Copies of this chain bind each other. A is one copy, B any other.
Amino acid sequence: MSHHPSAISPESSRPIGVFDSGIGGLTVVAELRRVLPHERILYIGDTARVPYGGKSAETVTRYSREISDHLIAEGAKLIVVACNTASALSVPTLAPSIEVPLIGVLEPGASAAVKATKNKMIGVIGTKATIGSSAYKKAICTLDTEMTVSSVACPLLVPLIEEGLFEDDVTSVILQRYLDPMLAEGIDTLVLGCTHYPLLKRVIQRICGPSVTLVDSAENCALAVKELLASQTQNPDRTPASNLAAPRLDIVLTDSSEGFLRVAEKSLDLTIDSLSFRQIGK
């Protein structure tokens, strides 16, 4: 790994730091690549402690702080919390004490859902921790008090996705159980409130039918990052590529078990320039 310490790097070569409990946040990386093709990205997947979705706010915040400190030490110019659980549980506590901008996936997703709904009935699916925090509900209702939000925790989806069972009868049956009550209530918009879920977009859309708009938090988060970077530079949309470092994607995992990485790499068509393993947070 050859990241530049921030002290000697021009802004353009400092990486965007991205982290997730594991590999799911690569859906956000794929979107960042699409909207910001010239950026360097340094991704940390906390595979030694994955998943975060069933853990407490205190523990998830501790992990998020350790990883953010690591990304800042590596010169990250901003940090993307590419994990809905960490966004819901730790961003409010962490953001004020971190020296670079911290962007979670939650606010962009909430904002996009409010823009997408016509009948003001929004569904949210996510991990137990994300749904238990009511963070999406609060964010959506802060934007528009007239919104009705239904939420369902879907703890089996991440394991099914990590097994690559995207088009499997079992996945359909489980999804149907989770989604039926919200569909019966008449939601017209569904927030995919976990960075793994875009990998199930096709089957979720099939179960919901064409009248329900799916809001992909990965996509909206990437757009928010683009806007933030644009607001920080003079000529954001047309920075000549010659001024920029070569785009790179460096991945650091906290455990050497690669598992799902290959599933994600293939599904998302990502090129990984380097992969390394480091212990973070002892």
| A interface residues with partner B (beta carbon < 8 Å) | 47-50, 54-56, 58-59, 128-129, 155-156, 159-160, 162-163, 169-170, 173-174, 254-257, 259, 281-282
Contact = CB atoms under 8 A, between A and B. Distances in A.
**What 4 pairs across the A-B complex have the smallest Cβ distances?**
A282-B282, A159-B159, A56-B256, A59-B255
Given A48-B49, A170-B174, A282-B281, A56 B156 contact: no
Given A159-B159, A170-B174, A173-B170, A128 B282 contact: no
A206 B52 CA distance: 34
A61 to B, nearest CB: 12
10 contacts: A47-B55, A48-B49, A54-B162, A55-B255, A56-B256, A59-B254, A59-B255, A155-B162, A156-B160, A170-B170
State the majority secondary structure of interface residues on A: loop
Contacts of A173: 169-170
Given A55-B255, A256-B59, A163 B155 contact: yes
A257 B58 CA distance: 10
Contacts of A170: 170, 173-174
Nearest to A128: B259
Nearest to A254: B59
A23 to B, nearest CB: 11
Contacts of A254: 59
Contacts of A156: 159-160, 163
Given A48-B49, A50-B54, A155-B162, 7 more contacts: A48-B59, A56-B255, A59-B255, A155-B159, A155-B163, A156-B160, A170-B174
